[in-house]
Amino acid sequence: RIQLQDLRKEFDDVTAVDGIDLTIEDGEFLVIVGPSGCGKSTTLRLLAGLEHATDGRIRMNDRDVTGIEPKNRNIAMVFQNYALYPHMTGRRNISFGMKSAGEFTDREIEKRVDQASETLDIADLLDRKPQAMSGGERQRVALGRAIVRDPDAFLMDEPLSNLDAKLRIQMRAELTKLHSELGTTTVYVTHDQTEAMTLGERVVVMEDGRIMQVDTPQVLYDFPEHRFVAEFIGDPA
C-alpha cells in the first residue's frame, strides 16, 4: 500500500502538486489522468524519489519513504522515451540495473532475464541493440527492465505516447495482460482519457495540482463530481 499525505511540490513560483491525499492499494492498476501541466509527472517523480516534496509524506507499506533515495524504494519506472542504453544489447539493457545493484549472482540475473523475456515474448530482441528495434520493441525491452527486478510497484509515465495509434492499442492490451499475470501495483500517468478509462481499475483525475476525483472508470462516467471531470472524461483525446 502506498499512501500520499498532503503531498506538495513547489518549483520557484509554480505549485506543481498542491496537497494530494491518495492511497494506492496493493496490486491495483491506478491511472492518473489530466491535462498538460496539471502535475501528473511531478506526482510520479515524487513517488519515485526523483523529486523532493516541499511538504507532505509518502508511505510505502507503512514505511515513511519521503526522504528516501530512489534506489532504496524498490520501484521501477518506465518512461515514454524508453531510456535504453544505445550501446547495449537488449539483454544488457535489461540486466544492467540488477548487475550494478550487486545483490544478485550472474546466474540468478540470467535466469530472471530469461523469465522476463518469456513473459514479454522478446527472446529475439535480447541480442539486438536499440537502434535495430522498432518503437514497440524498445518499449517491451524497457518493460523487461522494469519487471526483471520484481519491484513492489511500477511507475509509468506516458509509456506508449511515442507509439503509433495501432501499436498503442495493442500495447494497452499487453499491459493489461501483464498486470493480470504479475499483479504488481501500477501507477500509470497519461493525458489520454481513452487510455485512462481502458487501463485503469481506478482513475485519478487531476487539475491544477489537485485531485478532482478518484473512482472506477464507470463511476467517473456515470457520476462525475465536477463539471471539469465530466467535460474532461467526455472529451475524446
Nearer to ligand ATP, 53 or 178 (CB): 53
Residue nearest to Mg ion (CB): 41
Least CB distance from residue 67 to ligand ATP, whole Å?
19
> Which residues contact ligand ATP (rule: CB under 6 A)?
11, 14, 16, 34, 36-42, 191
Residue 41 found at the interface with Mg ion (CB under 5 A): yes
Q: How far apart are CA 196 and CA 113, in angstroms?
A: 29
Nearer to ligand ATP, 14 or 237 (CB): 14
Calculate Rg over the CA atoms of the chain.
Answer: 18
Q: Decide if 65 contacts 59 (C-beta within 8 A).
A: yes
In Å, the largest CA–CA distance within the chain is: 55
Least CB distance from residue 129 to Mg ion, whole Å?
28
Query: How many CA atoms lie within 13 Å of 86's alpha carbon, on the beta-carbon side?
Result: 2
Nearer to Mg ion, 122 or 187 (CB): 187
SS3 category, 233:
helix
Least CB distance from residue 55 to ligand ATP, whole Å?
15
Q: Which does 39 bind (CB under 5 to 8 A by kind): ligand ATP, Mg ion, none?
A: ligand ATP
Say how many Å lie between the first and final Cα of the chain, rounded: 31
C-alpha grid cell, residue 179: 498486470
Nearer to ligand ATP, 39 or 90 (CB): 39
Q: How far apart are CA 53 and CA 56, in angstroms?
A: 7
Nearer to ligand ATP, 28 or 207 (CB): 207
Q: Decide if 114 contacts 147 (C-beta within 8 A).
A: no
Using the contact rule CB under 5 A, the part of the chain among 24-32, 35-43, 103-111, 214-222 near Mg ion is 35-43
> Which residues in the 156-185 window bind Mg ion by CB under 5 A?
none
CA geometry: angle 57, 58, 61, nearest 5 deg: 135
Q: Which does 140 bind (CB under 5 to 8 A by kind): ligand ATP, Mg ion, none?
A: none
Least CB distance from residue 237 to ligand ATP, whole Å?
12
Q: Which does 144 bind (CB under 5 to 8 A by kind): Mg ion, ligand ATP, none?
A: none
Q: How far apart are CA 52 and CA 187, in angstroms?
A: 18
Burial class of residue 237 (count of CB atoms within 10 Å of its CB; 0-12, 13-18, 19+): exposed
Least CB distance from residue 150 to ligand ATP, whole Å?
27
Nearer to ligand ATP, 34 or 200 (CB): 34
